[in-house]
C-alpha cells in the first residue's frame, strides 16, 4: 500500500500507526517526525514564508481574493508515485491542500492515476474530531486496533488533565500578531484542558482577526504567542514584537511578565493528539512562573 500525505498532521498520524514505510510522498510542511525529510515532496507553497507576518497575511488575502491557489500539487510526481491512497484535509485552505483542490487536480484532465486511488479527507476541528481522524485512518489503512489504542490512551491523558485543579486565569492565545488573530478550532479547548479560561474564543470557533480594543476588553491575565507554524524560538521573537506594542503593553500580562512563547508548529497549530502535550506545556509554563 502506497500512501501520499498532503497534510503534516496526517503524516504524523500515519507514522504513529506504524506505516511510515508506506509513505511515498508528503507535503513540503511535513517535518515531524524528522525522518519524513527523506520522503518525496509533492507540494510547494506560493507564499514566501520568509516575509513578515503582515506581508504574508497580505499575500494570502490577495491570492484568496483573486481565487489563486496558495499551494501547488506536483501532479507529475504524484502520477509517477501511483499511490493507492492520498490523504488531505478540509479544515483550512491556508494550512494545507484542501480536499476540493486535490480532487480537482487529481481527477481532472491532468489525472493519470488509477480510478482505484482513494482520497481521504481529514476534518479535525476539536479533540474529538482529531480522535475520529485517527480512527478513520486506522480503518482505511488496516490499522484499526492500533488506532483505537492510540485514541484510548489520548482520552485517558485528557481525562487526567481535566481532572487537575482549575484556575480563573484568563489566557489569550494569539495565532498571529500582524494583524492580531485569535486562536481557533482546538486551541480554546487546549486552554480549558490546561485548567484555564479562554479570554477570546470558544472550542470550535474559527480563528479570526481581532482588534486592539477586543484584546483590551478581553482582560487577559496571560498572553500566549502561538503564531501558526512557528517554532518556540521564532515565537519568542514575535513575543518581543508584541511587548513593544504600546497600545496593549500596559495590560496585566506585560506588567506581570506573563507573556509566553510556545512551539506552535509542534504543539498547537496541527490537529494531532500532540495538542494534549501542548495543553500540558501551557499549564506547566504558566504555573511555573
- Exposure pattern of 31-45 as b/e (b: 16+ CB <10 Å)? ebeeebeebeebbee
Write down the pLDDT at residue 107: 36
Write down the pLDDT at residue 121: 87
Q: Is the pLDDT of residue 109 over 70?
A: no
Q: How far apart are CA 289 and CA 286, in angstroms?
A: 6
Q: Is the pLDDT of residue 92 over 60?
A: no
Q: Is the pLDDT of residue 101 over 80?
A: no
Q: Taking residues 123-135, report their average pLDDT.
A: 95
Q: Burial, 75: exposed, middle or buried (Cβ in 10 Å; 0-12, 13-18, 19+)?
A: middle
Q: How far apart are CA 261 and CA 234, in angstroms?
A: 9
Kindly report whether the peptide bond that precedes residue 179 is cis, defined as omega within 30 degrees of 0. yes
Strand positions, DSSP E, the chain? 3-5, 23-26, 40-41, 43-45, 71-73, 85-89, 118-122, 170-177, 180-182, 197-198, 222-225, 259-261
Q: Is the pLDDT of residue 287 over 80?
A: yes
pTM for the structure as a whole: 0.90
Note the pLDDT tens digit of each residue in 217-259: 999 999 999 999 999 999 999 999 999 999 999 999 999 999 9
Closest CA to 143 of 188, 102, 85, 104: 85
Q: Taking residues 142-169, report their average pLDDT.
A: 97
For the four alpha carbons of 14, 48, 38 and 99, in that order, the dihedral sign comes to: positive
Residue 173 phi, psi dihedral angles, 5° rounding: -95, 125
Note the pLDDT tens digit of each residue in 31-70: 999 999 999 999 999 899 889 999 999 999 998 898 887 8
89: left (phi over 0), alpha (psi -120 to 50) or beta: beta
The answer to whether 228 touches 269, Cβ cutoff 8 Å, is yes
Closest CA to 269 of 155, 144, 176: 176
The answer to whether 53 touches 178, Cβ cutoff 8 Å, is yes
Write down the pLDDT at residue 95: 55
Helix (H) or strand (E) holding 284, with range, is helix 275-288
Q: Is the pLDDT of residue 112 over 80?
A: no
**What's the Cα-to-Cα distance from 80 to each of 42, 48, 106, 119, rounded to whole Å?**
11, 27, 13, 17
**What's the Cα-to-Cα distance from 118 to each of 90, 148, 185, 225, rounded to whole Å?**
16, 22, 27, 38
Q: Taking residues 172-198, report their average pLDDT.
A: 97
Q: Taking residues 86-109, report their average pLDDT.
A: 58
Residues contacting residue 63 through CB under 8 Å, at least 6 positions apart:
46, 47, 69, 70
Q: Is the pLDDT of residue 116 over 90?
A: no
Write down the pLDDT at residue 62: 94
Q: Is the pLDDT of residue 96 over 60?
A: no
Write down the pLDDT at residue 72: 84
% of the chain residues with pLDDT over 90: 79
All structural domains of the chain, each given as residue ranges with its CATH number in brackets, are: 3-155 (3.40.50.1980), 165-288 (3.40.50.1980)
Write down the pLDDT at residue 230: 95
Write down the pLDDT at residue 94: 54
Write down the pLDDT at residue 56: 94
- How confident is the prediction for the chain on average, in pLDDT? 91
Q: Is the pLDDT of residue 213 over 60?
A: yes
Q: How far apart are CA 192 and CA 33, in angstroms?
A: 27
Amino acid at each position: 500500500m502506497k500512501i501520499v500525505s498532503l497534510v503534516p498532521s496526517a503524516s504524523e498520524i500515519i507514522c504513529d500507526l506504524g506505516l511510515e514505510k508506506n509513505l511515498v510522498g508528503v507535503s513540503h510542511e511535513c517535518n515531524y517526525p524528522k525522518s519524513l525529510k527523506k520522503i518525496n515532496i509533492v507540494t510547494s507553497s506560493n507564499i514566501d514564508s520568509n516575509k513578515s507576518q503582515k506581508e504574508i497575511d497580505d499575500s494570502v488575502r490577495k491570492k484568496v481574493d483573486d481565487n489563486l491557489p496558495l499551494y501547488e500539487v506536483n501532479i507529475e510526481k504524484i502520477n509517477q508515485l501511483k499511490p493507492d491512497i492520498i490523504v488531505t484535509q478540509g479544515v483550512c485552505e491556508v494550512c494545507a491542500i484542501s480536499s476540493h483542490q486535490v480532487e480537482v487536480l487529481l481527477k481532472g484532465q491532468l489525472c493519470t492515476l488509477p480510478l482505484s486511488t482513494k482520497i481521504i479527507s481529514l476534518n479535525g476541528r476539536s479533540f474529538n474530531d482529531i480522535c475520529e481522524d485517527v480512527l478513520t485512518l486506522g480503518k482505511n489503512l488496516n490499522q484499526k486496533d492500533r488506532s483505537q489504542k492510540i485514541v484510548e490512551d489520548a482520552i485517558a491523558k485528557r481525562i487526567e488533565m481535566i481532572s487537575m485543579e482549575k484556575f480563573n486565569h484568563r489566557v489569550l492565545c494569539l495565532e498571529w500578531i500582524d494583524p492580531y488573530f485569535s486562536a481557533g478550532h482546538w486551541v480554546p479547548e487546549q486552554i480549558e484542558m490546561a485548567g484555564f479560561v479562554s479570554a477570546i474564543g470558544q472550542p470550535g470557533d474559527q480563528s479570526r482577526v481581532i482588534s486592539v480594543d477586543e484584546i483590551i476588553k478581553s482582560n487577559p491575565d496571560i498572553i500566549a504567542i502561538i503564531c501558526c507554524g512557528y517554532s518556540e524560538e521564532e515565537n519568542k521573537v514575535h513575543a518581543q514584537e508584541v511587548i513593544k506594542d504600546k497600545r496593549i503593553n500596559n495590560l496585566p500580562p506585560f506588567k506581570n511578565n506573563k507573556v509566553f512563547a510556545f512551539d506552535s508548529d509542534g504543539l498547537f497549530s496541527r490537529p494531532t493528539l500532540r495538542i494534549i502535550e501542548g495543553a500540558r506545556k501551557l499549564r506547566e509554563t504558566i504555573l511555573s512562573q
